[in-house]
């Protein structure tokens, strides 16, 4: 099976990029042939580490330009007084003018080695993926990694062209069905990690990792890492830290994706004690090994919560918000580490409940890792995705064969064959 996919942001190893690269690496190991269209960088220079991983896939690659529907498109000044419908239409025209050349260049580069499936990992990228799939005769599969809430009608239209839609949680599946995506098209395949890439670490490794970050090994460590924006709820975490009932060191590592959010966090950070701020970390393993507890304090719905399974794979409990797909990860005995979203008191309670696990429940770390190995491995994810890709490709091929067998089509071809014979 040959799969074509678009790789967008190579600037750093953020969650979406890591997830896609790991899935592609696993599919490659499973014998899937890959073709990669690499989008020209628009904001940041490509990361050498991420670029090296793309090269290691051994796939055919080429560069393409604009590919996505512009969700933040700003109309030109002369159009800003026009009705909203006229502005939306102008935005669609602007998209088409920029996307069509990328579609046609991709179809030309594909040539005779056409893909069986075009795999898309952003619903607003379907404006590129669906035309490429139709022009090459491939099936189109879209993995939905983000919550659909900004423009549901737009996302429903974009997903209408998909042969299959991969939801990373049952929460996302329900949102897709509510959006109008036929349930028969939707398959749930949870995200996963390679446990070997996130090895467990005991107390000695934890103390060494904490000391390497300049932390006191004798004081518990709570870690957050990820994007710094209102959705991730770091402001709630800082408020919870001010209300802590027992001492711990808080580490916040990440990059602002919403510059205005700094004005919200700065006053809270000034009032909170024992907070260490770090920039975005390409390698999060030292952070995980230094942690006693990892927190995902999302203030709004998360599609899944990859950070949680990364933490649990290393043998640490994780605390998260009771929202979106997070409760599907922190289920069963782990639901005691769920907190009401946006509630710093409840978050402080959940963190305090998890802090003393090494003494109160020393087997918890092993059970966390066992849960990941049982339900959330990269191998499980890749196998599920491969099965859906093959299902979509086979269905598309069957429909194509059925169209060719229609009597009307044979009748239309018959005169041409008779003329050729004559």
Better-predicted residue by pLDDT, 18 or 322: 322
Go through the domains of the chain in sequence order and give each one's CATH number.
Answer: 2-192+377-404 (3.40.50.2000), 196-372 (3.40.50.2000)
Report pTM: 0.85
As a whole number, mean pLDDT of residues 319-346 equals 97
pLDDT given for residue 210 in this prediction: 97
pLDDT given for residue 265 in this prediction: 92
pLDDT given for residue 158 in this prediction: 77
Residue 41 binned pLDDT confidence (cut-offs 50, 70, 90):
low
Separation between Cα atoms, residue 202 and residue 186, nearest integer Å: 40
pLDDT given for residue 12 in this prediction: 52
Residue 131 pLDDT exceeds 80: yes
Better-predicted residue by pLDDT, 34 or 17: 34
pLDDT, tens only, 402-413: 888 777 655 444
Residue 396 pLDDT exceeds 80: yes
As a whole number, mean pLDDT of residues 141-158 equals 73
Separation between Cα atoms, residue 106 and residue 128, nearest integer Å: 10
pLDDT given for residue 14 in this prediction: 58
Q: Identify which of 167-181, 247-261, 334-348 has the greatest average pLDDT.
A: 334-348
pLDDT, tens only, 82-115: 777 676 666 666 667 778 888 999 999 998 899 9
Separation between Cα atoms, residue 247 and residue 355, nearest integer Å: 10
Residue 130 binned pLDDT confidence (cut-offs 50, 70, 90):
very high
Task: Tell me the two tokens of residue 355.
Answer: 């802090």
pLDDT given for residue 254 in this prediction: 93
pLDDT given for residue 404 in this prediction: 81
pLDDT given for residue 72 in this prediction: 52
Mean pLDDT of the chain: 87
pLDDT, tens only, 162-176: 999 999 999 999 999
pLDDT given for residue 173 in this prediction: 94
Residue 374 pLDDT exceeds 50: yes
pLDDT given for residue 412 in this prediction: 45
pLDDT given for residue 414 in this prediction: 41
pLDDT given for residue 9 in this prediction: 64
Residue 422 pLDDT exceeds 50: no
pLDDT given for residue 73 in this prediction: 54
pLDDT, tens only, 42-85: 555 667 777 888 889 989 988 887 776 555 556 666 666 777 76
CA distance to 77, 98, 106, 121, 140, per residue, from 133 (Å): 36, 18, 10, 14, 6
């Amino acid at each position: 099976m040959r799969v074509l996919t678009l790789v967008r942001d190579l600037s750093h190893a953020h969650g979406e990029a890591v997830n896609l690269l790991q899935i592609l690496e696993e599919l490659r190991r499973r014998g899937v042939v890959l073709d990669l269209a690499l989008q020209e960088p628009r904001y940041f220079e490509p990361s050498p580490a991420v670029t090296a991983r793309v090269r290691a896939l051994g796939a055919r690659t080429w560069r393409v330009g604009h590919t996505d529907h512009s969700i933040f498109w700003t109309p030109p000044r002369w159009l800003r007084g026009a009705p909203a419908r006229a502005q939306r239409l102008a935005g669609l025209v602007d998209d088409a003018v920029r996307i069509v050349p990328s579609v046609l260049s991709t179809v030309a580069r594909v040539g005779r080695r056409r893909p069986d499936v075009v795999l898309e990992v952003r619903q607003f990228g379907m404006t590129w993926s669906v035309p490429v799939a139709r022009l090459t005769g491939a099936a189109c599969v879209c993995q939905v990694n983000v919550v659909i809430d900004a423009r549901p009608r737009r996302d429903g239209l974009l997903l209408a062209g998909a042969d299959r839609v991969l939801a990373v949680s049952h929460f996302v599946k329900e949102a897709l069905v509510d959006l109008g995506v036929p349930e028969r098209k939707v398959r749930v395949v949870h995200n996963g990690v390679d446990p070997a890439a996130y090895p467990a670490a005991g107390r000695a490794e934890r103390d060494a990792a904490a000391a390497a970050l300049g932390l006191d090994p004798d004081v518990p460590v709570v870690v957050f890492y990820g994007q710094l924006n209102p959705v991730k709820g770091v402001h709630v975490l800082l408020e919870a830290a001010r209300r802590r009932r027992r001492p711990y060191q808080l580490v916040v590592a990440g990059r602002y994706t919403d510059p205005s959010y700094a004005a919200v966090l700065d006053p809270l950070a000034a009032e909170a004690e024992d907070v260490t701020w770090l920039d975005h970390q390409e390698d999060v393993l030292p952070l995980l090994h230094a942690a006693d507890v990892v927190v995902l304090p999302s203030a709004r719905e998360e599609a899944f919560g990859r950070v949680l399974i990364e933490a649990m794979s290393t043998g640490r409990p994780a605390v998260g918000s009771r929202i979106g797909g997070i409760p599907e990860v922190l289920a069963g005995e782990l639901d005691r580490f769920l907190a009401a979203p946006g509630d710093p008191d409840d978050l402080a309670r959940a963190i305090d409940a998890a802090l003393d696990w090494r003494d109160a429940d020393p087997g918890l770390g092993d059970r966390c890792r066992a849960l990941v190995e049982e339900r959330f491995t990269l191998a499980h994810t890749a196998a599920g995705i491969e099965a859906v890709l093959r299902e979509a490709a086979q269905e598309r091929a069957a429909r194509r064969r059925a169209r060719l067998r229609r009597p009307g089509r044979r009748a239309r071809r018959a005169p041409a064959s008779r003329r050729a014979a004559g």
